[in-house]
Chain A
């Protein structure tokens, strides 16, 4: 490149704009495109979420009613009430913390989601075991199956999955395209929150407090819902560039 000395008497040249300051070619077109793309406002989103919540609540109530509703089956009423209230509180806290975004537009931190995701099923499990242990014979294997073997909890597993699926789908829809950082983890924790909600209903239905039954019928569905949530998170919750 040749060097051209500048004459001091020359008028000063205007400063060269940086690349970022130069006019971009597509600004006007892009803004026009946005004008033609009516995104839902906050008010509309609130109404949509409310409708979704009511629909999911109705579906859950109907599934639970169809499955048989509350079944004490020899459990003391106080045990049913105490385990249900505790589980409902844990599920409510889990839903609030795991489904919400906290004080950030990008969602909660990885650490928080990881800890809360593990703590929720653990708290539900410990709560159930603790109160069942307070009552005589409430941690037994429960009624035997037709083959004379103890039931493993497959019915509870199916019920939990059926009850957890709809809240999970609803929460994933509410959170769609909202997490640019940890969509899979967020989806997994949504699965945990949905599983916690399902736990409350399953707990009202199932009289068995046996550890192996609880692990298969009550904890395993939370894990499965978390795995499903992770897949949904990748598909729905993440922010991805259009192909």
Chain B
């Protein structure tokens, strides 16, 4: 865990200033450290900024066509967002089956609400807001987060960055678990702010929209979450 201890606080401090969209290759090349790659993958969305922007435009366009009555366009939207959404939900629930169920509920809701979609508004904040709400609702209804081996071969204790050598994966897994423990201690909104910006790579404006808050409120929530994470890791070093 030496690498994690020395690396993560600096990363959080850097990430707190602005959301980052960095290609993985660029990060790995710049850092030159094979161990840090997996750590980085936990924090930075794994596509470059132009790719991300194009992806969002494509998603917005597909939803717009779907709202106008093009049923096939939803398949395109599904192809764009399903993996990302599943990934997010799996991290929140730690249960692949439940994540898949919630993903389908989220997309079903988006499909049913297509008539109210406005092309000038982004799909991603909307999608994350719905997904977050469904997770919270699901937990409140008794589906407390259960850490167990999920069915279908989706092992819970498997790091989300599954490439690389075993030591990289191990460090990634341990980091992820440590972060998850810290996030458990945060309020729901702080956790959501952290997830949206640090894990999902939403901009501050998008994350604020997804939370139904102002950008300044989002910044405050994120700052508290970052501080908690940094404090936990600094405490681990002592």
Q: How many residue-residue contacts, CB under 8 A, span A and B?
A: 144
Which of B109, B116, B130, B214 sits near A111, CB closer than 8 Å?
B214
Q: How far is the CA of A41 from the CA of B115 in the complex (A)?
A: 4
Interface-centre pick from B117, B134, B212 (highest chain A CB count, 10 A): B212
Q: How many residues of B contact A (CB 8 A)?
A: 60
Which of A27, A43, A178, A182 sits near B69, CB closer than 8 Å?
A43
Contact residues, B56-88 vs A (CB, 8 A):
67-69, 71, 74-75, 78, 82-84, 86-87
| Contact B113 A177, beta carbon cutoff 8 Å | yes
Which residues of chain B come closer than 8 Å to A34, judged between CB atoms? 74, 107-108, 111
Which residues of chain B come closer than 8 Å to A37, judged between CB atoms? 108, 111-112
Residues of B within 8 A of A (CB): 67-69, 71, 74-75, 78, 82-84, 86-87, 90, 96, 100, 102, 104-105, 107-109, 111-118, 120-123, 125-126, 129-130, 132-134, 137-138, 141, 152-155, 158, 160-163, 208-214, 217
- Contacts A20-B86, A180-B129; is A39 near B122 (CB within 8 Å)? no
| Contact A109 B83, beta carbon cutoff 8 Å | no
Q: Is A97 an interface residue (CB 8 A)?
A: no
Q: B228: shortest Cβ distance to chain A, in Å?
A: 22
- Contacts A34-B108, A39-B111, A241-B105; is A105 near B126 (CB within 8 Å)? yes
Closest to B206 in A: A104
Q: How far is the CA of A20 from the CA of B90 in the complex (A)?
A: 8
| Contact A106 B126, beta carbon cutoff 8 Å | yes
Q: B112: shortest Cβ distance to chain A, in Å?
A: 5
| Contact B118 A181, beta carbon cutoff 8 Å | no
| Contact B213 A31, beta carbon cutoff 8 Å | no
- Contacts A30-B107, A105-B126; is A178 near B113 (CB within 8 Å)? yes
| Contact B68 A42, beta carbon cutoff 8 Å | yes
Residues of A within 8 A of B (CB): 15-22, 24-27, 30-31, 33-35, 37, 39-45, 101, 103-111, 177-182, 238-243
Which residues of chain B come closer than 8 Å to A106, judged between CB atoms? 125-126, 129, 209-210, 212
Q: How far is the CA of A35 from the CA of B96 in the complex (A)?
A: 24
Which of A30, A105, A239, A242 sits near B122, CB closer than 8 Å?
A105
Q: A73: shortest Cβ distance to chain B, in Å?
A: 44
Which residues of chain B come closer than 8 Å to A39, judged between CB atoms? 111-115
Closest to A183 in B: B133
Q: How far is the CA of A16 from the CA of B162 in the complex (A)?
A: 6
| Contact A109 B212, beta carbon cutoff 8 Å | yes
Q: How far is the CA of A74 from the CA of B100 in the complex (A)?
A: 68
| Contact B132 A180, beta carbon cutoff 8 Å | yes
Q: How far is the CA of A85 from the CA of B57 in the complex (A)?
A: 44
Q: A214: shortest Cβ distance to chain B, in Å?
A: 33
Which residues of chain A come closer than 8 Å to B83, judged between CB atoms? 20-21
| Given pairs A42-B68, A241-B141, 8 additional interface contacts (CB within 8 A) | A15-B163, A18-B160, A19-B90, A19-B96, A19-B160, A24-B86, A39-B112, A41-B114
| Contact A20 B160, beta carbon cutoff 8 Å | yes
| Contact A31 B212, beta carbon cutoff 8 Å | no
Closest to B154 in A: A19
What are 25 A-B interface contacts by the 8 Å CB criterion?
Answer: A18-B87, A19-B90, A19-B96, A20-B83, A20-B90, A24-B82, A24-B86, A25-B100, A26-B100, A31-B75, A41-B115, A42-B115, A42-B117, A43-B115, A44-B115, A101-B118, A104-B212, A105-B122, A108-B212, A111-B213, A177-B113, A239-B130, A240-B134, A241-B134, A243-B141
Which residues of chain B come closer than 8 Å to A22, judged between CB atoms? 153-154
